[in-house]
Amino acid sequence: MNRLTPRISHNNIVILATLLLLIVLYGAGSVQYTGFFSLQVFLNLFIDNAYLIIVATGMAFVIISGGIDLSVASLVALVSMVSGDLFAHGANAGTVVAASLALGIAFGAGQGYLIYRFQLHPWIVTLAGMFLARGISFLISSESIVITNETYVKLSQHKIHVWGQNFVSVSVLIALAVVIAVLLVAKFTFFGRAVYAMGGNEKSAALMGLPIARTTVLVYTLSGFCSALGGIVFTLYTLSGYSLHLMGMEMEAIAACVIGGILLTGGFGYLIGPMLGVLCTGIIQTIIMFQGTLSSWWTKIAIGLLLFLFMALQRVIVMRKEKSRNPVSSMNSPNSENKIVNL
């Protein structure tokens, strides 16, 4: 039993490191720049990154299941494009939202089906998905479409006051709802546990009788759904549809997952992590904005270095886990093994 204490800290250490980093970065920014330490600056992090939080959370599920989804950014652009086009043809907001979500679900399910049914590499299938989604949005139009729909405009300008004059947008509430819902799904449903088991070891999961086919398709469907929802939120944020929106955002989503402690080999990670990862990169962007003289490419360099640090940290944890997994200890601590699987 005395092994249990360090074991639990193994499981927590990345997420704690992320949290610590968040506080340090925010603290450093507050000390350095006047006006940085205000509630609105903090809330803006959520407002500006709501779509990324949603997309990264969906991506985290796929990564935990042992796969990858590269199509997310293109899907967001496609949703913004389809929304713009539908509005231009006089559709109402409800139809557009429903169509967007249906598109995301169908797209994700299709990718999941190809990956499972024909045993294709998720990398290649979602790469094709990425080309496909961008291609379709190019076909719709290569120009940017401005959205003037009343409901969307109203929604995007709606301010929900949190404290005094400080506010958040509707998108932030959607993002938080997604994070909470996904946390609950991962912890309390059969599907959630099956995803963790599958990511840990697909063969063992299959031998245990878990429905690998259904879970794979569902995981990619969930990611597609999250991308579509992220697309709606992003459309609300920019009020435009453009086929070149968010080029390369899939890598930002993956980076957020890594910084948030989702193990890229699958099977492990807290689903609150991606949100913390997104906030970390958001704070770096804000600091560079406040600094004023540094060019924007420093953001990329800083995020890359963070990625490296967190990957090295992940690696150390995996190595220590492998070391402690000698036959005696694994027999003695089945509970802690379960803990890894169940969060």
Partner 1 sequence: MANLTASVRNIGRNPIIWPLLALALLMIFNLIAIPGFFSIEFHDGRLFGSVVDILKNASPLAIIALGMTLVIALEGIDISVGSVLAIAGAMGIFMLDGYPTWIAILAALGIGVLCGLWNGMLISILGIQPMVATLILLTIGRGIAQLITGGRIIDTTSASYTFLGKGYFLGLPIQAFLILIVFALLYVLKTRTAFGLFVESVGGSKTASRYAGIRPRSIMMISYAIVGACASVAGIIVSANLGSADANNAGLWIELDAILAVVIGGTSMRGGRFYLGGTVIGALFIQSLTTTIYSLGVPAESILLVKAIVVILVCLIQSEAFRKLFVPVGKKAIIE
For every residue of the chain, which 3-state class applies, written as one string? CCCHHHHHHHHHHHHHHHHHHHHHHHHHHHHHCCCCCCHHHHHHHHHHHHHHHHHHHHHHHHHHCCCCCCCHHHHHHHHHHHHHHHHHCCCCHHHHHHHHHHHHHHHHHHHHHHHHHCCCCHHHHHHHHHHHHHHHHHHHCCCCEECCCHHHHHHHHCCEEEECCEEECHHHHHHHHHHHHHHHHHHHCHHHHHHHHHHHCHHHHHHCCCCHHHHHHHHHHHHHHHHHHHHHHHHHHHCEECCCCCCCHHHHHHHHHHHCCCCCCCCCCCCCHHHHHHHHHHHHHHHHHHHCCCCCHHHHHHHHHHHHHHHHHHHHHHHHHHHHCCHHHHHHCHHHHHHHHHC
Binders of partner 1 in range 38-57 (CB under 8 A) = none
Kindly tell me which of 101 and 128 has the beta carbon lying closer to partner 1: 128
Binds partner 1 by CB under 8 A, chosen from 312, 330, 335, 341: 312
Binders of partner 1 in range 90-149 (CB under 8 A) = 114, 117-121, 123-125, 127-132, 134-136, 138-139, 142
Query: What residues form DSSP beta bridges with 327?
Result: none
Report angle CA 133, 69, 261 to the nearest 5 degrees.
145
Smallest separation, CB 125 to partner 1 (Å): 7
Kindly tell me which of 81 and 178 has the beta carbon lying closer to partner 1: 81
Question: x-or-dash pattern for partner 1, window 70-89, by CB under 8 A?
Answer: --------------------
Binders of partner 1 in range 140-179 (CB under 8 A) = 142
Q: How many residues bind partner 1 (CB under 8 A)?
A: 45
Which range touches partner 1 (CB under 8 A), out of 16-24, 44-52, 155-163, 315-323?
Answer: 315-323
Length of the chain: 343
Smallest separation, CB 324 to partner 1 (Å): 17
Binds partner 1 by CB under 8 A, chosen from 297, 326, 327, 331: 297
Q: Cα–Cα distance between 325 and 223 in angstroms, integer?
A: 32
Q: Cα–Cα distance between 133 and 135 in angstroms, integer?
A: 5
Binds partner 1 by CB under 8 A, chosen from 301, 325, 332, 338: 301
Q: Interface with partner 1 includes 255 (CB under 8 A)?
A: yes
Which range touches partner 1 (CB under 8 A), out of 20-28, 42-50, 99-107, 300-308?
Answer: 300-308
Which range touches partner 1 (CB under 8 A), out of 90-98, 101-109, 207-215, 294-302?
Answer: 294-302
Binders of partner 1 in range 219-248 (CB under 8 A) = 243
Smallest separation, CB 145 to partner 1 (Å): 15
Kindly tell me which of 240 and 333 has the beta carbon lying closer to partner 1: 240
CB atoms within 10 A of CB 203: 9
Which range touches partner 1 (CB under 8 A), out of 37-45, 283-291, 292-300, 325-333?
Answer: 292-300
Binds partner 1 by CB under 8 A, chosen from 251, 291, 325, 341: 251
Kindly tell me which of 132 and 174 has the beta carbon lying closer to partner 1: 132
Smallest separation, CB 248 to partner 1 (Å): 9
Query: What residues form DSSP beta bridges with 163?
Result: 166
Residues within the interface to partner 1 (CB under 8 A): 68, 114, 117-121, 123-125, 127-132, 134-136, 138-139, 142, 243, 251, 254-255, 258, 264-265, 295, 297-298, 300-301, 303-305, 307-308, 311-312, 314-315, 318-319
